[in-house]
Chain A
Amino acid sequence: MRRIVRFLSRLYPSAWRRRYGAEFEALLEDQTLRVRDIFDVLWGAFTMRVTLRSLLQIVLPCGLVGSLVALMIAFSAPPRYMSETVMKVTSRLNSRICEDQNDVPMQLRGPSQGICEEPPQFVDQRVSDLIRPAFDRAFLVSLIDEMNLYSVERARMPLDRLVDKMQASIRLIPEKEVRGDSFVRGYDIGFEYSDPEVAQRVNRVLVHHAVDTSLKSMLGVRLASSIAQQLSYRQVFKIENDASLPQTPAGLNWVEQGMVGLLAGLLGGLVLAVVIGSESDSTVAEG
């Protein structure tokens, strides 16, 4: 314990240690130290580094700069709108498939125990594997061209980067809670764009293309597998609602962005104050 606390006492500013170090070590040697003394010394070192003066001179200006930068970003970046669609996927396999896939921990369900279900994470992976290929680069390139997307960016950005940008704007998130029939999983498919109506139109195309591609992919699997498996495997995709027309921009509003900037600036300023605490505290040692 004593060694830990002595080690932590090195966190005090060097100027403070020059003035008080020897007597502080003598104090540590004289007494029986407890666990809470570790935190006490840590807090003591922190408060020595971050004085009121350094708070006023470093931390507050950093917080102000952080919030200003965040506000500038908030007002200079165009608003983004997220159109969303919920797609329900019903996934059922019969017991024979369960037995065939011993590496997947499935549970038998149903009155006759003839149906089994996959754990949600396996369904998520399966659906992701089915849907993600639908948003391949070739399709997105054709979509950018057909719908004249990113018209401003196209002048200064190569097509490859535009496709990356578009892929980053597509969201596929499984719903957190499984409600009702546990065979049914919901997926939130979203597309973010600077124009809400375009976001809605693109999202509509994306979702239908995803379902089409998934069905074709599943059909291919079925044709390649045995008759028994064809009949036993059932995965149904259902588009729950049409792509939404977003009314408000996605993400944080300008007030929230300003707050985030302020907090980030304060935190950065605090770190800066701790780092340069030795210098700002030199007057303590001299005083």
Chain B
Amino acid sequence: MTDPSILVLSSLAGSDKHGYAMMEDIERFAGVRLGPGTLYGAITRLEQRGWIAPVGATDRRQPYTITGAGREYLQENLTNLGRIVRAGLGRLENA
């Protein structure tokens, strides 16, 4: 599960973060290091779709927050993913 959009949304679901903080957080909880191009590609797409939004910046580091639509999208995707994970693990145990 390395979809950068889902990883960014999952990171922002905990708290508002700027790019570098997201990158570190994602590496911590998912074990995936997103490159700067990949991260900002995801940020651009997510902001364009209205799933994240910039919040007040104190310097050049721009923090982002997840929007209501973003939460819904993340919830839906993680629920589906959870179903797949449960099914796969269950089948592995029964095999």
B22-65 CB contact bits vs A (8 Å, 1 = yes)? 01000000000001111111011001100000000101111000
For chain A, the bracket of interface size reads: 20 to 34
B34 → chain A, closest Cβ, in Å?
8
Are B43 and A20 in touch, CB under 8 angstroms? yes
* 8 pairs of residues in contact across A and B, judged by CB atoms under 8 Å: A20-B44, A27-B19, A30-B61, A37-B35, A42-B37, A44-B37, A284-B44, A284-B48
Query: A16 to B61, Cβ gap below 8 A?
Result: no
Once A20-B44, A23-B18, A284-B44 are accepted as A-B contacts, the answer to whether A28 and B61 lie under 8 Å apart by CB is no
Q: Is residue A157 within 8 Å, beta carbon to beta carbon, of the partner chain?
A: no
- Roughly how many angstroms separate A16 CA and B47 CA in the complex, as a whole number? 12
**Chain A residues whose CB sits within 8 angstroms of the CB of B39 once the complex forms:** 27
Query: Do the beta carbons of B41 and A36 come within 8 Å of each other?
Result: no
Using A40-B35, A40-B38 as known contacts, say yes or no to A27 and B23 having CB atoms under 8 A apart. Answer: yes
Tell me if A26 and B61 are in contact (CB < 8 A).
yes
- Whether B38 pairs with A30 at a CB distance below 8 angstroms is no
Min Cβ gap B68→A in Å is 18
Do A20 and B41 contact each other (CB < 8 Å), given the known contacts A284-B48, A287-B47?
no
In the bound complex, residues from chain B placing their C-beta under 8 Å from that of A43 are 37-38
Given contacts A41-B35, A284-B48, A287-B48, contact A23 B62 (CB under 8 A): yes
CB nearest neighbor in B for A45:
B37
Contact A31 B37 (CB under 8 A): no
* Residues of chain A contacted by B57 (CB below 8 angstroms): 23
Q: Do A23 and B60 contact each other (CB < 8 Å), given the known contacts A30-B20, A31-B20, A44-B41?
A: yes
- Name A1-40 residues within 8 Å CB distance of B: 5, 16, 20, 22-28, 30-31, 33, 36-37, 40
A37 to chain B: which residues have CB within 8 Å?
Answer: 35-37
Q: A26's contact among B37, B41, B44, B60, by CB below 8 Å, is which?
A: B60
